[in-house]
């Protein structure tokens, strides 16, 4: 059986450091999940799903579809490549796009950098939420992960911070992109704490403000996550009724 290794890390963006990430920093309803394939440093494929409130999706759509935007570069240096982006699906709360990047002569994108070190295939998953882009890199061996770690850390532009998460054999692929229905991880966390602390009991045993303090989040964020989680659970229940 072929082994697989997962190299996971976070890149955190300061306020104003990146135009695309700024949209996620300023709007806590927005979230992006992208799957990258890059088997050659000269080209890569990206399937991205961005979700959020209706107004948020409308506001961010131009940034998502901008073919000239170098949002994949972590150094701030523009990519020398050809980018073609098309819409695969669109509704008021979700935009799914496919991007093909070709003729890459220079680009400090994570997949392009990794493809220079890994020659037997590599797959990527990235989620953007708030100020953080979380990366999972799936490879068949971990021989070059040390070099990749050093290179990524050295290439980061101003206002970006690299944080190692883990390197493990195997790994989990918990993807809303491939399974769009369900509750997001951050919504599950808020829901689990709310249930544990008695928020849904009658009468309630904890207030929304107390939940926000426990989760160390703004009250509005906790309220939004609980509303979205219960809405998804309700829709799922109705859709699976005979």
pLDDT digits (tens, 9 = 90+) for 56-78: 999 999 988 887 667 788 998 88
Mean pLDDT of the chain: 83
Instruction: Identify whether the C-beta of residue 127 lies closer than 8 Å to the C-beta of residue 33.
Output: yes
Query: Closest Cα to residue 31, out of 58, 52, 60, 53?
Result: 52
Q: How many CB atoms lie within 10 A of CB 120?
A: 10
Tokens representing residue 153 in the block: 């850390």
Cα angle 28, 31, 33 (rounded to 5 degrees) comes to 165
Report phi then psi at 103, rounded to 5. Answer: 50, 45
- Two structure tokens written together for 144: 């070059």
* pLDDT, position 14: 95
Cβ-count burial 83-105 (b if 16+ within 10 Å, e if not): bebeeeeeeeeebbbebebeebe
Calpha distance 106→59 (Å, rounded): 30
Name which of 93, 7, 3, 104 is nearest 46 in CA terms.
104
Of residues 218, 147, 117, 136, the one with CA closest to residue 175 = 136
Domains in the chain: boundaries? 5-169, 185-239
Residue 3: pLDDT band (50, 70, 90) is low
Q: Select from 237, 216, 239, 219 the least CA-distant residue to 227.
A: 219
Cβ atoms within 10 A of the Cβ of 48, count? 20
Can you give the pLDDT at residue 119? 66
- Closest Cα partner for 233 from 194, 178, 203? 194
Q: pLDDT (tens digit, 9 = 90+) per residue, 179-192? A: 445 567 788 788 88
**pLDDT by residue (tens digit) across 193-239?**
888 888 877 788 889 899 999 999 888 888 888 887 777 766 655 55
What distance, in Å, lies between the first and last C-alpha atoms of the chain? 40
Share of the chain above pLDDT 90, in %: 26
- 126 alpha carbon, distance to own chain's centre: 4
Residue 171 has pLDDT above 60, yes or no: no
């Amino acid at each position: 059986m072929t082994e697989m290794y997962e190299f996971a890390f976070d890149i955190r963006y300061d306020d104003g450091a990146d135009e695309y990430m700024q949209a996620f920093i300023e709007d806590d309803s927005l979230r992006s999940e992208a799957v990258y394939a890059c088997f050659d440093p000269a080209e890569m494929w990206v399937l991205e799903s961005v979700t959020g409130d209706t107004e948020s999706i409308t506001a961010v759509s131009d940034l998502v579809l901008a073919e000239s935007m170098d949002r994949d570069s972590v150094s701030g240096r523009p990519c020398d490549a050809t980018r073609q982006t098309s819409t695969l699906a669109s509704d008021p709360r979700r935009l799914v796009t496919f991007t093909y990047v070709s003729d890459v002569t220079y680009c400090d994108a994570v997949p392009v950098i990794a493809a220079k070190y890994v020659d037997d295939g590599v797959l990527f998953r990235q989620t953007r939420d708030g100020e953080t882009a979380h990366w999972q890199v799936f490879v068949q061996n971990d021989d070059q992960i040390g070099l990749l770690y050093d290179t990524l850390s050295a290439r980061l532009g101003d206002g970006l911070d690299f944080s190692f998460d883990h390197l493990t054999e195997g790994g989990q692929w918990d993807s809303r992109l491939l399974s769009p229905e369900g509750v997001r991880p951050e919504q599950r966390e808020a829901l689990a704490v709310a249930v544990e602390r008695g928020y849904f009991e009658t009468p309630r045993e904890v207030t929304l403000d107390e939940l926000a303090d426990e989760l160390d989040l703004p009250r509005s964020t906790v309220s939004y996550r609980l509303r979205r989680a219960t809405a998804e659970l309700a829709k799922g229940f109705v859709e699976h009724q005979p």
